[in-house]
Amino acid sequence: MIRKKDFIFQILFNFIFSAIFIWFAIDYVGSSGWGIFPVIFIFFATNDVVRGIKIIKLYQQVKKGNKP
């Protein structure tokens, strides 16, 4: 069984990495303009945000006692 701390760790981990990828994209665009790397960074950031939101929804379902 997954614990509450594991859910919270995964949520924070995903949102922290999305912030890091967004920061890398902004920094790269500011110095070199748009290219393939900022697009990849934004893709990874979006992926992490979506995954974090899905884990939050799953956590809320488990907290209520419903099976996912």
Tokens 């488990």 correspond to: 62
The 3-state secondary structure of 12-44, one letter per residue = HHHHHHHHHHHHHHHHHHHHHCCCHHHHHHHHH
Distance CA 54, CA 13 (A): 13
pLDDT at 7: 84
Distance CA 44, CA 20 (A): 10
pLDDT at 1 over 70: no
15-66 confidence digits (pLDDT tens): 999 999 999 999 999 999 999 999 999 999 999 999 999 999 988 888 888 7
Distance CA 54, CA 17 (A): 15
